[in-house]
Structure 1
Amino acid sequence: MAASLAPERRALVPSGVSGMSRAERLCVATGVFLCLSGLVHLVVFLVDGGPWYGPVSWRKPVTFGLSFGLTLIAVTWVTSYLRIGARRRAALLVVFAADCVVEVAGITLQAWRRVPSHLNTETPFDTAVAMTLAVGGGVLVVVLSAFAAAAFRRRPGGPPGMVLALRSGFAILMVALLSGAAMIARGVVLSRTGHQQAAYDSTASLKPLHGVSLHAVLVLPALVLLLARTSWSEVARQRVLYAAVGAYAAAVLVAGIRVGLTW
């Protein structure tokens, strides 16, 4: 009973750091660390220079550090509104946090070694790193799909509009996961058939779709909380939220059409 009531309490009264569970504090701290890692590597890029794009660049530890850090913090926050058992949620969050660290660490390591991180099978070590990142991607899909299923299985808690924001955010997040899996799958096929450079180039068309759809699960729930602090009527807040969801969906659709035209 206590676990089922937790989302309602947390939706109405911000708990702050002191009210977080141990798993939540661990995940938020890890997310902050990953974001700092991304910012540090941005400084490294500014000092060291080199290309921003391409399979070997400082862009990858920057963008992956920031993206994984923000996503981990966002997922830790938004899943507090889900009606899911406390132990199950904590276990999923810890696995997700560990996987985020492994992904960013592998990408960062290869950036410092000045070799590609994904789809790189040039040496046994590079192959091991690439396979670890691929398996880690599979773990991400499983964990986030479990949270998405929980969002649709039982009505989440939170202020008015949070149900739509969470379900829309997780649905769009699934697009990000599928596009990421498609990038890896296509690249692996090309790599194993002897087209290594084509494997690296093949991910370019899917990156905008992947990037656009990745953070809806943070943006839309955050918008709900911002709207809840305004003096606008519920109807006005609802219209703004509907417009935001529609705009996000349209952006994902446009990115998807671009993929279809270049795939």
Structure 2
Amino acid sequence: MTTTTARTGRQRRHRPLLTLTAAMAVLALVTAAGLAVDDRTLLGANVWLKPFKFAVSFAVYGFTLAWILSVLPRRSRLAEWSSTVIVAVSVVEVAIITFQAARGHRSHYNDTTPFDSRLWSIMGASIMVLFVAHLVVAVVALRQRLPDRVAAYGIRLGLLLALLGFLAAIPMVMSTDTGIDGISGAHAVGVPDGGPGLPLTGWSTTGGDLRVGHFIGMHGLQALPLLAFLLTRTRLGTSQSTRLLLTAASAYAATVAIVTWQALRGQPLLAPDAATLAAAGAVVVATLIAGTLIVRSARVG
């Protein structure tokens, strides 16, 4: 990155996103302290675990978006405005999650009382607004020409994979028959929410869990730009690097689809059946073959 580009990036730092990042980092520390001193549990997990995870997630998300806006070659007021909307709805989302955790109540899918139902409705609307605002930022990034093609591919593909992560969460709110009064949605499939789960993530070890695909997809926003950065440090040319990025993004999207399909069949992440293993194996083999051919073409060239 040239000195001029770096200076332009500093001048176009999106302060609301950076403020969100800092606020979420502070909240992560506060909720981490809550994990240490408050032994209350909800659905088998400490009440402060969910706000802690969301605080970390939004801190990473906000920082990544702020960086993306800073490296776009042209300032986009539409993208900046959409990012400010993202900040607003993110604050609403995390505030409700934290408030409900402090009360010892569920935040997601909770229609137990009119007040809980209203909070859940606000959260649902906030996520829809966040999705649309993120889509706007993705479209702006797709339309602008970044001077570094490899970085451009990494940013664009990362933004698109995050959109896929949003879509992977849709089945969570489509389950209305959970068997629990006042609960209209679930993370788990085939078993109630709150059963045995993996450490920290809480992903079900006895049934399917739709959070897996959502998590993997959302973090494509960081994974693809990082891969692009690493590829620029190799001897591969621009053409080979971009083809490798497209191959990696395809494999990443296929992974999101496979783990979501696995979850929808009520299957734990760590207990895949033959069909899931076959699908995953096909993706791995196809990715390795494509990657090998791309690298060999670079050596021949």
Q: TM-score range by the shorter chain?
A: 0.7 to 0.9
Please list every run of 5 or more consecutive structure 2 residues that lacks an aligned counterpart in the other structure.
190-207, 268-301
Instruction: Kindly state the Cα deviation for residue 194 of structure 1 after the two structures are TM-superposed.
Output: 6.6
Counterpart pick for 2:159 among 138, 149, 170: 170
Partner of residue 217, structure 1: 221
CA change 1:105–1:253 in 2 (3 A) is same
What is the SS of the residue equivalent to 2:88? Answer: helix
**Is the alpha carbon distance of 1:202 and 1:167 closer, same or farther for their aligned partners in structure 2, counting shifts above 3 Å?**
same
Quick check: 1:60 aligned with 2:50?
yes
The letter of the residue matching 2:19 is A
Deviations, residues 52-88 of structure 1 (Å, cap 9, x unaligned): 8658732210111111121122122224455776221
Which residue of the partner structure matches residue 127 of structure 2? 137
Superposed CA deviations along residues 227-252 of structure 1, whole A, max 9, x for unmatched, are 43x35342675576456435523432
- Whether the 8 Å CA contact 2:172–2:187 is kept in 1: the answer is no
1:190-235 C-alpha deviation (Å, 9 max, x unpaired): 37x975457345476210000111011122113323443x353426
- Counterpart of 1:232 in 2: which secondary structure? coil
Cα 1:260/1:72, change in 2 over 3 Å: same
Matched, 1:13 2:5: yes
Deviation at 1:103, TM superposition (A): 0.6
Change (3 A) 1:190 1:84: farther
1:148 aligns to what? 138
More deviation, 236-245/122-131:
236-245
Equivalent position SS for 1:63: helix
TM-score in terms of structure 1 length: 0.79
Instruction: State the distance in 1 between where 2:133 and 2:28 align.
Output: 23
More helix by share: 1
Task: Call closer, same or farther: CA 1:199–1:96 in 2, change over 3 Å.
Answer: closer
Distance 1:110 1:169 in 2: 32
Residue type at the aligned position of 1:109: F
Contact 2:40 2:104 in 1 (8 A): no
Q: Which runs of 5+ in 1 are unaligned?
A: 1-7
TM-score (norm 2): 0.70
Aligned partner of residue 36 in structure 1, secondary structure? helix
How far apart, CA to CA, are the structure 1 residues paired with 2:177 and 2:230? 45
Q: 1:198 to 1:126 in 2, by over 3 A?
A: closer
Structure whose alpha-carbon radius of gyration is higher = 2
Correspondent of 2:252 among 248, 252, 255: 248
CA contact (8 A) 1:56 1:111 kept: no
**With CA pairs under 8 Å and 6+ residues apart, which has the higher RCO, 1 or 2?**
1
Deviations 1:130-151 (A, max 9, x none): 1110110111111011122233
Amino acid in the other structure paired with 2:221? V
Q: 1:86 to 1:197 in 2, by over 3 A?
A: closer
Correspondences of 1:1-263 after superposition (within 5 Å) = 13-15=5-7, 18-21=10-13, 24-51=14-41, 57-82=47-72, 86-152=76-142, 154-186=143-175, 189-190=176-177, 195-196=181-182, 199-200=185-186, 202=188, 205-228=209-232, 230=233, 232-234=235-237, 237-238=241-242, 241=245, 244-262=248-266
Q: Could you tell me how far apart the structure 2 residues matched to 1:250 and 1:86 are?
A: 32
Q: Is the 8 A contact 1:35 1:65 kept in 2?
A: yes
User: How large is the RMSD of aligned CA atoms in angstroms?
Assistant: 3.2
- Cα displacement string for residues 14-41 of structure 1 (whole angstroms, at most 9, x for unaligned residues): 34884234xx022112112113212321
Distance in structure 2 (CA, Å) of the matches to 1:93 and 1:137: 14
Task: State the identity as a percent.
Answer: 25
Amino acid at match of 1:249: A
Equivalent pair of 1:83/1:150 in contact (CA under 8 Å): no
Q: For residue 105 of structure 1, report the CA deviation from its aligned partner.
A: 0.6
Judging changes above 3 Å, is the alpha-carbon distance between structure 1 residues 242 and 80 closer, same or farther for their aligned structure 2 residues?
Answer: same
